Amino acid sequence: MDAVQDEAAGKRARGLDRAFEILDFLRQKRQALKPNEIAAQIGAPRSSVYELVNLLLQNGILEFTGGEGRVYLGRKLYFLGAAYENHFDFTRECEAALEQLADETRETAQFCMLDGNRYTVVRMREGARPFRISTDVGQSVPIPWTASGRLLVAHLSDQEILTFIPPQDFRLPNGEWLEPQTFIAEVRQAEREGLFTFNSIVDSFTHCFAVPVRGEEGHAAATLCLVTPRDDGIANRDRYLDCLKKAAAGLDHAPTRPKRG
């Protein structure tokens, strides 16, 4: 998970980009880190990171926490995030949909979106029979690793998909290489059928179901997913897909609709 390094090496990075690289890195790590550690792990000059961290601390974007000079995301980010959530008011409806899915299926239900050019679980409702879920809420994951990923990029052309997804993200967690053309074929299939299901690539014991939640532009702004034990998933496939489609219908056009204006 190294620095993106933009395009050319040897160029200076822009402060803003580095700053958000730091913030994203802390989000991924989900823990407070020393500036020195941040610099080492994202491959940025230490002096730059110290400079930026101090600026971000002054702005309340970062906060000291965890002692020994460690920093983590700050309160200001919470306020800004809350303003976003308030504007694009999807939380309430989203929770209701997850609740409904949990009631009807007793399985783990997730609401997922793109985070830049990766996939992330925005909200999750654990099933009645909890097992170790491979991806936590808020972690970003390569798009090709997920069922939802097939739906979330379906509005792009083949070429756009290849440009959009970082090439190394086609390397699966087990080390295998997923041929981009294979992935694209699955995207088109998912687009036609309005759903995608498969045995998880990330672990060896779950089956994943994903259906699109359509935004104002008509394409998948988010997905609703079920993550089930493989036997259960295959046994209840039709019923689970019905539940998902019903729940997604209740959200359609919602995730991107502003509350006012």
Tell whether residue 189 is a contact of its own copies (CB under 8 A): no
Residue with tokens 């009631």: 103
State the Cα–Cα distance between residues 21 and 119, nearest whole angstrom: 17
Give strand pairing partners of 210: 196, 225
Q: Are strands 108-115 and 140-141 parallel, antiparallel or unpaired?
A: unpaired
Tell whether residue 69 is a contact of its own copies (CB under 8 A): no
User: Which stretch, 14-22, 100-108, 181-189, 223-231, contacts its own copies (CB under 8 A)?
Assistant: 14-22
Residue 34 binding result from DNA, its own copies, none, given CB thresholds of 5 to 8 Å by partner type: DNA
- Binding footprint of its own copies, residue count (CB under 8 A): 49
DSSP 8-state class, residue 177: B
Which residue number, 56 or 114, has a Cβ lying nearer to DNA? Answer: 56
Tell whether residue 113 is a contact of its own copies (CB under 8 A): yes
State the Cα–Cα distance between residues 252 and 98, nearest whole angstrom: 14
Shortest Å distance, C-beta 30 to DNA: 18
Closest listed residue to residue 187, CA positions, set 224, 215, 146, 221:
146
Check: CB of residue 101 under 8 Å from CB of residue 244.
Answer: yes
User: Which stretch, 115-123, 124-132, 176-184, 191-199, contacts its own copies (CB under 8 A)?
Assistant: 115-123
Tell whether residue 17 is a contact of its own copies (CB under 8 A): yes
Tell whether residue 205 is a contact of its own copies (CB under 8 A): no
Residue 84 tokens, joined: 């976003």
Binding site for DNA (CB under 7 A): 11-16, 18, 34-37, 40, 44-48, 50-52, 68-69
SS3 212: strand
Residue 207 tokens, joined: 């089956």
State the Cα–Cα distance between residues 240 and 151, nearest whole angstrom: 17
Shortest Å distance, C-beta 210 to its own copies: 19
Catalog residues that contact its own copies under the rule CB under 8 A.
14-17, 19-20, 23-24, 26-27, 30-32, 52, 55-56, 59-61, 65-66, 72-88, 113, 115-116, 120, 122, 137-138, 256, 258, 260-261
